Chains A and B, each alone.
Chain A
Amino acid sequence: MNKPILEINNLYIDYPISIGTVHAVEDVSLILNRGEVLGLVGESGCGKSTLGLSLLKLIRPPGKVSGGEILYKGKDVLKMSGSEMLNFRGQNIAMVFQNPLTSLNPLFKVKDQFLETIHYHKPEIKQEEAIRMSENILEDLGIDKERMHEYPHKLSGGMRQRIMIGLGLIMQPDILVADEPTTSLDVIVEAGFIDLLNRLRKRFNLTIILITHNLGLVAEIADRVAVMYGGRIMEIGSADNIFSDPLHPYTFGLINCIPNIELEQKELITMPGNPPDLVNPPDGCRFAPRCPRVMDICKKEVPEVRMYKGRKIACRLYE
């Protein structure tokens, strides 16, 4: 097996706030292999977006990484200097965000945003060449190159989403972090987006981290799935395994919550309780207070992540 492109080891991220410290990410270890799509799923506030931002060292102060390492091809991202970091963002890793409507600067034409990105990474590239590069990538994304001369407010949400991805990919990074990319898109645009991700992945040999709570999207394109809860990894496994046979009670509950049109349920299944308070997290397993199969020990000790049936899982049931 070839070396992983990205390796996260025992990562901790804290946000100090007035009443204490939010432990947004705790002891997270993940491996990302070249060319795969990893779905990072969990409820709102489980730390998945924070984890995504930390990969580009974009955690908003006063939040900070308080422990662990992020290795990109063996090099620690967190120890990069300022200028190394600027090159790393864009040339090695790109991130697209939730809301395409607000992710483009409204006062700059699409073209200028492309040219600027190219200019800062490769100042030696001439303007004509840079325009050609931008036109090519827009055509790859199925956008008429004339649209380059428009301001963002004249473009539809789906188009802006694709332009965002184009801006991310213009310097040909290896990794694309997509944070809730489909949340604000309608279903038809979303279907097109899934198709697009699949094409880009092959075309650019792209490794994708898909942060989402849209399990349908994950089932559609992810190779592997990591489930997060309360800032910790609950379960990591291949998408097939996770969806056909969820082991962790939280994963099970999460998949159960997807409405199913065929079963004609009288009522939607929900998960009782609320996500944990990350300032004063419960002792033991974060999910214990909501877990239907909770045991005494779960409330005392944090379960370690162990290998079980070819996947990683943090649960006492599988020891």
Chain B
Amino acid sequence: MPGFKDKSGQSSFLLSAMKNLLRYIITRVLLTIPMIFILLTLVFVILRIMPGDPVSAMLGAHAPQEVIDKKKEELGLNKPIIIQYINYMNKLLHFDLGESMIFKQKVIVPIKQKLPATIELTLFGMFFTLLFGIFLGAYAASKRRTGRDFAVRIYANVVYCIPVYWMGLMLQLILGIWLGWFPIAGRVNARILVSTFERTGFYTIDTLLAGNLYAFGDVMLHLFLPSLTLGIVLSGIFVRLTRANMLDVLKSEYILSARARGIPERKIVYRHALKNAFIPILTMLGLQFALLLAGAILTEMTFSWPGIGRLLMERIYLRDYPTIQGVIVVFALFVSLVSLIVDIFYAMIDPRVKY
């Protein structure tokens, strides 16, 4: 069916809709601020309650007491927690994430450097999640109670139970080592000189900007396995969600009406029903994005992916408080940004939703 254009000019209406949308976005951004403060407070306290601290991580268990004390004083860890907290929050209000307690470096530096890798991984992972989740779910719903439906449901349950790293190892073994189709670690082949194209940090974009198609292909190959791993594991929940929603929608009267008008079944399933079933899926996507990030951390470990998930893991071992807090802030911002984008999409798909 061709897309038909809307010729009714309603520019003033559009303008007020835009204004409302802008107001909505600003409200949402303002609401993010208290959320981040609460989150950071929790992380701040938990980190300091946890056994171990950066000083003993750095100096080892047998360092003399006066060296430990000196280091603690240097890092400000000898002050009461409340003072440390106030100092930290004060810096944060000035958009300063502070300095690493382990390395002589601003917290923002490694985050800036590694964030693009994580964003690339999660976006491609999300792509695979939706690809498998939505199509398998819709397919299963349209073939309800047949062997194929059953097979899809088993797939969903199995992948939902599989740990991300195990799935990653299996894919590395099968597709990477036995078949040799895909590289199993890193973002790009070591022989490709990254400095020739590095601009934004997103290698997919950078290689294209530099017009280096060979490097682009290599980057995509490296992206494939980790994002496939992430996509497959998280698709289970979306298969089930899509299937349930589709079954619900397929029961509705407007689907029966469309059938009664002689619309072909395939169009009914993939055009009429799927678009309606997609609305709750989109909501779920916003909510599940945090899960996707958590999965990304594990995937990054398995695939030696130089993202902020791996950075977080490394710095947790080192008890590098400011960096851990910084990564958490970035994760929180990322999740809120995605859920905001999801909400805007939501209004675009469903004409009944207005902001």
Contacts and interface: CB of A to CB of B under 8 A. Distances in A.
Interface of A: 56, 58, 85-91, 94-99, 102-109, 111-112, 115-117, 119-121, 127, 146, 149, 151, 153, 164, 167-168, 171
Nearest to A109: B6
A167 B258 CA distance: 9
Contacts of B259: 56, 58, 89
Which of B256, B261, B276 has the most CB atoms of chain A within a 10 A radius of its CB? B261
Contact of B260 (A109, A121, A127, A168): A168
Interface in B288-338: none
Given A58-B260, A89-B259, A106 B4 contact: no
Which of B1, B6, B263, B275 has the most CB atoms of chain A within a 10 A radius of its CB? B263
A96 B8 CA distance: 29
10 contacts: A85-B262, A86-B263, A99-B253, A105-B272, A112-B4, A115-B1, A116-B263, A117-B262, A127-B4, A149-B6
Given A88-B262, A117-B261, A167-B257, A107 B252 contact: no
A85 B262 CA distance: 7
A127 B1 CA distance: 11
B263 A105 contact: no
Contact of A120 (B6, B256, B262): B262
A105 B261 contact: no
A127 B263 contact: no
Which of A58, A120, A127 has the most CB atoms of chain B within a 10 A radius of its CB? A120
A97 B258 CA distance: 11
A127 B4 CA distance: 8
A149 B8 contact: yes
B349 interface: yes
A48 B320 CA distance: 73
Interface of B: 1-2, 4, 6, 8, 252-254, 256-264, 267, 272, 275-276, 349-352
Given A102-B254, A115-B4, A151-B351, A107 B276 contact: yes
A72 to B, nearest CB: 14
Nearest to B3: A112
Contact of A98 (B253, B260, B275): B253
Top 7 A-B pairs ranked by shortest CB distance? A90-B262, A89-B262, A151-B351, A95-B260, A102-B253, A86-B262, A105-B254
Contacts of B6: 109, 149
Nearest to B268: A105
A115 B271 CA distance: 14
Contacts of B275: 107
Given A103-B257, A106-B254, 18 more contacts: A56-B260, A86-B264, A87-B262, A89-B261, A89-B262, A90-B261, A94-B260, A94-B261, A96-B257, A99-B253, A102-B254, A105-B272, A106-B351, A106-B352, A107-B351, A111-B4, A117-B262, A127-B2
B267 A120 contact: yes
A127 B2 CA distance: 9
B268 to A, nearest CB: 10
Contacts of B262: 85-91, 117, 120-121, 171
B350 to A, nearest CB: 6
A98 B252 CA distance: 12
Nearest to B351: A151
A160 to B, nearest CB: 10
Contacts of B253: 97-99, 102-103
A152 B179 CA distance: 53
B348 to A, nearest CB: 11
Contacts of B4: 111-112, 115, 127
Contacts of A111: 4
Contacts of B2: 119, 127
A151 B353 CA distance: 12
B8 A146 contact: yes
A171 B261 CA distance: 9
Contacts of B272: 105, 108
Contacts of B257: 95-97, 103-104, 164, 167
Contacts of B8: 146, 149
Given A107-B275, A146-B8, A164-B257, A120 B264 contact: yes
B143 to A, nearest CB: 12
A146 B9 CA distance: 12
A167 B256 contact: no
A85 to B, nearest CB: 8
A116 B268 CA distance: 11
A153 B276 contact: no
Contacts of A105: 254, 258, 272, 276
B1 A119 contact: yes
A58 B263 CA distance: 13
B245 to A, nearest CB: 14
Contacts of A99: 253
A102 B1 contact: no
A99 B254 CA distance: 10
A81 to B, nearest CB: 13
Nearest to A100: B253
Contacts of B1: 115-116, 119-120
Contacts of A109: 6
Contact of B254 (A87, A104, A115, A149): A104
Given A98-B253, A102-B254, A106-B254, A89 B352 contact: no
A87 B351 CA distance: 31
A107 B350 contact: yes
A127 B263 CA distance: 17
B349 A167 contact: no
Contacts of A89: 259-262
